[in-house]
């Protein structure tokens, strides 16, 4: 594991807050199926997975607006209500069918739990999408709390969802590790006062994740437990 700040070793964590898309589950196939179903219903051109990848991470509202702009819709706000209705319809119909849990996720999280850490999932995805996805992938039992992009007034990169999640767990932000895949997660964590580790394999808006200000960058969640000093200095 590449640690950028040796101070991280001095932390003894009570909990971890784990991002969903791009961190635990590769959901690009689901996003592609739901968005292209929506576009077909609206008689608009299809979008590639590569283009979608750079738009994921800031919640569904941002995603739909970005996709409509990408296919050159001029009246985005006029089309938005129907687009959102069609997107929800398609997403809920396929949720998890074209998505895969990344290697090492289950093992890494189980090991954190075995070390006594409490786990919460915090995603910018709507809660109504996140809960069935975690259940479909058999990950739901790992988490004491699950919060979505619509659970609080503001989404990541605002610190509010992290602070609210710490409050729900009853843990101090400085003793609660954020595990994510994008600058959204890192910025929210920094502002909330949570240490933050990013995975190298997710979606970071088309930018190299190694350039993001975080405490470590890891290739698998299993690395968190392969270096016990990281967790219990
Ligand atoms: O924007 C999304 O729907 C995905 O968000 P997440 O990376 O916070 O899970
Ligand atoms: Mg993510």
Instruction: State ipTM.
Output: 0.96
pLDDT in tens, 22-76: 999 999 999 999 999 999 999 999 999 999 999 998 999 999 999 999 999 999 9
Atom of ligand 1 nearest to the CA of 156: 8
Q: Which residues pair with 178 in a beta bridge?
A: 17, 196
Top mutation candidate among 63, 125, 199 for ligand 1, by most atoms within 8 Å of CB: 125
Instruction: Assess whether pLDDT exceeds 80 at residue 230.
Output: no
Three-state SS string over 91-112 comes to HHHHCCCCCEECCCHHHHHHHH
Within the chain, all domains assigned CATH 1.10.150 are found at: 28-94
pLDDT in tens, 124-141: 999 999 999 999 999 999
Name the pTM for this structure: 0.93
26 marked as binding residue: no
Q: What are phi and psi of 42, to 5 degrees?
A: -90, 5
* Mean pLDDT across 92-116: 96
* Mean pLDDT across 188-214: 96
Smallest Cα–Cα separation from 122: which of 176, 81, 73? Answer: 176
21 marked as binding residue: yes
Instruction: Assess whether pLDDT exceeds 50 at residue 9.
Output: no
Which residues are marked as active site? 19
Instruction: Give the pLDDT band of residue 227 (cuts 50, 70, 90).
Output: low
Instruction: Assess whether pLDDT exceeds 60 at residue 108.
Output: yes
pLDDT of 12 reads 75
Which superfamily is assigned to 2-26+100-231 in CATH? HAD superfamily/HAD-like (3.40.50.1000)
181 marked as binding residue: yes
Provide CB contacts within 8 A for 47, sequence distance 6+: 32, 35, 36, 39, 67, 70, 71
* Mean pLDDT across 94-99: 98
Q: How much is the mean pLDDT over the chain?
A: 93
| Residues framing ligand 1 (Cβ under 6 A) | 19-22, 56-60, 123-125
Instruction: Assess whether pLDDT exceeds 50 at residue 85.
Output: yes
Within the chain, all domains assigned CATH 3.40.50.1000 are found at: 2-26+100-231
Atom of ligand 1 nearest to the CA of 56: 1
Instruction: Assess whether pLDDT exceeds 90 at residue 10.
Output: no
Q: How far apart are the first and last CA of the chain?
A: 15
Top mutation candidate among 124, 185, 204 for ligand 1, by most atoms within 8 Å of CB: 124
Ligand 1, atom 3, lies closest to the CA of 125
Instruction: Assess whether pLDDT exceeds 50 at residue 1.
Output: no
What CATH code would you report for 28-94? Answer: 1.10.150
pLDDT of 95 reads 98
């Amino acid at each position: 594991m590449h640690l950028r700040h040796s101070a991280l070793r001095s932390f003894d964590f009570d909990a971890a807050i784990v991002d969903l898309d791009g961190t635990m589950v590769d959901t690009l196939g689901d996003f592609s199926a739901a968005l292209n179903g929506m576009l077909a219903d609206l008689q608009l051109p299809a979008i590639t997975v590569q283009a979608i990848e750079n738009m994921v991470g800031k919640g569904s509202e941002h995603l739909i607006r970005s996709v409509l702009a990408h296919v050159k819709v001029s009246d985005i706000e006029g089309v938005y209500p129907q687009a959102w209705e069609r997107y929800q319809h398609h997403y809920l119909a396929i949720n998890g069918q074209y998505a895969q849990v990344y290697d090492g996720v289950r093992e890494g999280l189980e090991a954190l739990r075995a070390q006594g850490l409490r786990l919460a999932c915090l995603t910018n995805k709507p809660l109504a999408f996140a809960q069935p996805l975690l259940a479909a992938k058999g990950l739901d039992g790992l988490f004491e709390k699950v919060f979505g992009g619509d659970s609080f007034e503001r989404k990541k990169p605002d610190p509010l969802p992290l602070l609210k999640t710490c409050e729900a767990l009853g843990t101090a932000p400085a003793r609660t590790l954020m595990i994510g895949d994008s600058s959204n997660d890192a910025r929210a964590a920094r502002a909330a006062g949570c240490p933050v580790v990013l995975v190298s394999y997710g979606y970071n808006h088309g930018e190299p994740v190694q350039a993001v200000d975080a405490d470590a960058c890891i290739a698998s969640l299993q690395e968190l437990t392969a270096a016990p000093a990281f967790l219990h200095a």
